[in-house]
Structure 1
Amino acid sequence: MLTGTRKTVLASAVALALSAGTTAVTVNHSTPRTPAATTSTASSATAWTAGWAASPQRASVSFKPNWSEAGFDNHTVRQVVRVSADGTQARIRLSNAYGTSPLLIERATVARTAKGASVRPGSVRELTFSGSRSASVPAGGQLSSDRAALGLRANDQVTVTLHLKATTGPATFHAQSFTDSYRAKGDHTTDTAASAFTEKTESWYYLSGVDVTGSKPPAPHSSESGAGHSHDHPRDRSGIVLFGDSITDGFASTPNADRRYSDALAARLKSLGKQRPVLNSGIGGNLILNDSAWYGERATTRFSRDALDLPGVGTVVVLGGLNDIGYRETTTQPTYHPAADITGRQLINGHQELIRQAHAKGLRVVGATLLPLGGSDHYGKHSAAASDEFNNWVRTSGAFDAYVDFDKALADPADPEHIRPSFDSGDHLHPNDAGYRAMAAALNPNAL
């Protein structure tokens, strides 16, 4: 729990920041680390940058109804994402990480999004895999497509369409997309109209990334011909991954509006003339220290796959631990149990492991304090004490290359144990759209 002294100091600090028109700032502890050399999963002549990403999960009925457990059988799945990097060419990454048999891709396309399940006429590009229109992704594996000529700018929406002709079985997916995905029977990969896509859910299936390459993208929507290839060039490691749980994933943000904190950060950086790719590797319900059937592998296990190994990434912002310390406090969610009795010290040890992994690969790692959780189903004497211990370590240890104080940035000045009402989605745990914008504003671009 917060002591009276800490409450007074914190309330004063937040009030001062708000009166100055700012939120909390990120504090640098050290000179930025030198990123590891850029690597490519394609030919040595091509340097790819991740423009969008989603973390794969095992099929489950978590959160909202979805198609993951039943899978697909002669369906076309159309999925909409928003990239945060420029390029003249694009490829997709597919994951069958939790499949029990090979995933057969009969046909795939990428296009500019129009509205909903419709795409812009003239923008559809057929994708190939090692030159073939069809492909097989092995059980437990992943696969990248060949490049397709499609000029993109940061914040463009992209539609990826997969025809899954054979029965897939349970599908590797990302449970909470906060963006509609669409399904049709048969092959509708080249359709520009939305009429065949009569079903929808808020999850992504098999799609784990969209990468871009090439310089000098065309003026937005000036031409959809796809003719004109630019020369590939080495990319720097400017990509930023936001890694964490449901708060990073964007829970309670407005659906189909791209208002997660990752979207807000990408928009903020672009408005400041500091445009960088911003990738979201959050999983709702995820834990730092333990695996979950519904909420993904533990953060220390999935960190490399979902963050460190994404192409073009140089910085990771880690926000996680509320579930580790908070699941034991609730009795209303059976999926949370059995919940381990995690201490602040154990949570610190888990983050030290993430720091070690990031630094071993030459990446900069920014730590984040946990948001206030007072009044939520994660709140109790144990979780409050563990949160205080962990947040104090983030602020004072110097273990991270930098840190951001989300706790102070979103705290209610009148009661710092709680999220400020104007930032609260209503469950006293997850921010609303304004809260996510406040999180993006709390990050100092120079520390990224």
Structure 2
Amino acid sequence: MTRRHGYALFGSLVGVVTLVCAAIFAGFTFLGPSPLRATDQSKNPGETHNRLSRAAPAASGAWVGSWAAAPAGAEPGLPNGLPGRSIRNVVHTSIGGTGARITFSNRFGSAPLMIGHASVAQQSQRSDPGSRSGGAQALTGTMRRLTFGRHAVVTVAPGRQIVSDPVRLRVPDDSDLLVTLYTPVAGGSVTYHAHAQQTSYLATGDRTEDAGGAAYTRPTTHWRYVTGVDVLNQRARGAVVTFGDSITDGQGSAQGRNHRWPDVLADRLRESRYGVLNEGIGGNQLLNDGLARGAGQSGLARFDSDVLDRAGVRTVVIDLGINDILRGQQRDPSRITAGLRALTRRAHAHGLRVVGSTLTPMGGHIGFDAGQRAVRDQVNAAIRAGGIFDSVVDFDKALRDPYAPDRLAPRYDSGDGLHPNDAGYEAMAHTVDLAQLTGKAAATQL
């Protein structure tokens, strides 16, 4: 073989290796379900969304949910959206990974939502969430532009959602990300999550890829449009979804401290390599919608989109029913238990384990009466007796005052007789038996 032919052969081999490496990178980048387009989604907000990501096999190194927030309704006072604004949402991861993809929702929009520019970055460790815009600063070198089907601009129809193309980004466990989108034109009502217990930020103009936070002079306590962060983690075993009301949402916990009980549960599950997704909505009911007050669709209506369609989900923890008694004035405990059984059957149909909680004490809450006490006690008795969930976590027992069992223990009460404080949420998370979440026992057939 001549030297010239040898060089040619060597060049061919290099080319083959380059193509193989490119294929490997492409497989890394798009492993798992394909990115969604707005046209892939259901027009009916009560129907299944994000069908392509259902039951994603996280154990094989595919996408797994790291953070989520359930859309709670259309934000009051913003009928035309936030035209000309950049919205920088601060979200907290549970499990980390080597890539990320972001879900944006227009579920409760009244008009098409145009996303003119979007990005994701790690929050700078030098950020000062206590200052007016200090929490909006990105860590140097981590800003990534998001695209949708390789397009920077996308329009999402009302009632639909879209998942970004994946980006390479090191996402640490237990860290804050900045998810930013710019809405250049009026887009109808804003799909939002009201009680974030986290400060996010707004800026005027397109400041989507600003690494500095100086332009983000308007703090906000809402999450807008963003509903999920999935990460690529080759060692992940799956995700646990916590599905509930304001107590799961974390109301009563310290602002910006990530002390909700699902956050503490995520800390406990980290070595087991599970993500934790918080799908709680303040005021949410199992049986009735509360969209007009930002309390979301009923648990029965939103279960598919907020639980079954999340990436890599293996187990769901259900804590719903208190607001059916307090707000919905439900006086028939059998209707609540029937609704909980229906959720369990739907979870089982998708291979998920179901852990259900007893309803927590609410005797100290304003307006609580003897009739409500009787309903709560009967629901809890049915839950403890079995036949509703695969296993039970007794949040009622963990939080109640031993001298006044209808009430929260004083050391766990945030002050309103209903919502726990940080110590109470920590006690709840430590009541959960991790083996019930990660075990391989067959789900009970109901």
TM-score category (smaller protein): 0.7 to 0.9
Match of 2:89 in 1: 79
CA distance in 1, matches of 2:75, 2:94: 29
Match of 1:94 in 2: 104
Q: Is the 8 A contact 1:39 1:311 kept in 2?
A: no
Match of 2:178 in 1: 159
The residue type paired with residue 71 of structure 2 is: P
Correspondences of 1:215-294 after superposition (within 5 Å): 215=234, 236=237, 238-270=238-270, 273-292=271-290, 293-294=292-293
Q: Is the 8 A contact 1:325 1:382 kept in 2?
A: no
The residue type paired with residue 258 of structure 1 is: N
Correspondences of 1:310-325 after superposition (within 5 Å): 310-325=310-325
The residue type paired with residue 94 of structure 1 is: F
**Residues 59-113 of structure 1: CA distance to partner in whole angstroms, max 9, x if unpaired?**
244xxxxx75552011001011111122111010010001122110111110000
Match of 2:223 in 1: 204
Q: CA 1:436–1:289 in structure 2 vs 1: closer, same or farther (change >3 Å)? A: same
**Residue of 65, 68, 73 corresponding to 1:53:** 68
Q: CA 1:55–1:41 in structure 2 vs 1: closer, same or farther (change >3 Å)? A: farther
Match of 2:392 in 1: 403
Q: Is the 8 A contact 2:96 2:172 kept in 1?
A: yes
Which of the pair has the greater relative contact order for Cα pairs under 8 Å at 6+ separation? 1
- State the SS of the aligned residue for 1:277: strand
**Residue of 150, 169, 176 corresponding to 1:150:** 169
CA distance in 1, matches of 2:234, 2:272: 17
Q: CA 1:323–1:212 in structure 2 vs 1: closer, same or farther (change >3 Å)? A: same
CA distance in 2, matches of 1:41, 1:358: 23
- State the SS of the aligned residue for 2:301: helix
Offset of residue 127 of structure 1? 0.8
- State the SS of the aligned residue for 2:212: coil
CA distance in 1, matches of 2:377, 2:186: 49
The residue type paired with residue 279 of structure 2 is: S
Match of 1:381 in 2: 370
Q: Give the fraction of aligned pairs with identical amino acids, expressed as a percent.
A: 42
**Residues 45-64 of structure 1: CA distance to partner in whole angstroms, max 9, x if unpaired?**
98211111000122244xxx
The residue type paired with residue 135 of structure 1 is: V
Match of 2:130 in 1: none
CA distance in 1, matches of 2:78, 2:94: 27
**Residue of 33, 37, 40 corresponding to 1:40:** 33
**Residues 382-432 of structure 1: CA distance to partner in whole angstroms, max 9, x if unpaired?**
110011100011111233111100010011122111111000000010000
Offset of residue 274 of structure 1? 2.4
Structure 1 unaligned blocks of 5 or more: 1-37, 62-66, 217-234, 328-338
CA distance in 2, matches of 1:178, 1:68: 21
Match of 1:33 in 2: none
Q: Is the 8 A contact 2:80 2:186 kept in 1?
A: no
CA distance in 2, matches of 1:212, 1:68: 31
**Residue of 191, 211, 214 corresponding to 1:195:** 214
The residue type paired with residue 171 of structure 1 is: V
Match of 1:431 in 2: 420
Match of 2:306 in 1: 306
**Residues 219-276 of structure 1: CA distance to partner in whole angstroms, max 9, x if unpaired?**
xxxxxxxxxxxxxxxx64x210000000000001111111111111111223xx3241
Q: Is the 8 A contact 2:112 2:188 kept in 1?
A: no
Q: TM-score, normalised by structure 1?
A: 0.80
Q: CA 1:125–1:110 in structure 2 vs 1: closer, same or farther (change >3 Å)? A: same
- State the SS of the aligned residue for 2:274: coil
Q: Is the 8 A contact 1:410 1:439 kept in 2?
A: yes
Structure 2 unaligned blocks of 5 or more: 1-30, 36-51, 128-134, 438-446
Match of 1:12 in 2: none
> What is the aligned-residue RMSD (CA, Å)?
1.8
Q: Is the 8 A contact 1:68 1:173 kept in 2?
A: no
CA distance in 2, matches of 1:104, 1:378: 44
CA distance in 1, matches of 2:202, 2:259: 24
CA distance in 1, matches of 2:371, 2:346: 29
The residue type paired with residue 73 of structure 1 is: P
Q: Is the 8 A contact 1:266 1:275 kept in 2?
A: no
Offset of residue 194 of structure 1? 1.2
Match of 2:115 in 1: 105
CA distance in 2, matches of 1:284, 1:367: 18
Q: Is the 8 A contact 2:61 2:234 kept in 1?
A: no
Match of 1:17 in 2: none
- State the SS of the aligned residue for 2:406: strand
The residue type paired with residue 82 of structure 2 is: F
State yes or no: 1:363 paired with 2:364.
no
Offset of residue 154 of structure 1? 1.6
The residue type paired with residue 154 of structure 1 is: D
Q: CA 1:194–1:264 in structure 2 vs 1: closer, same or farther (change >3 Å)? A: same
Correspondences of 1:119-138 after superposition (within 5 Å): 119-138=138-157
CA distance in 1, matches of 2:185, 2:411: 48
More displaced stretch, 75-84 vs 373-382? 373-382
Q: TM-score, normalised by structure 2?
A: 0.81
- For the pair shown, the structure with the greater C-alpha radius of gyration is 2
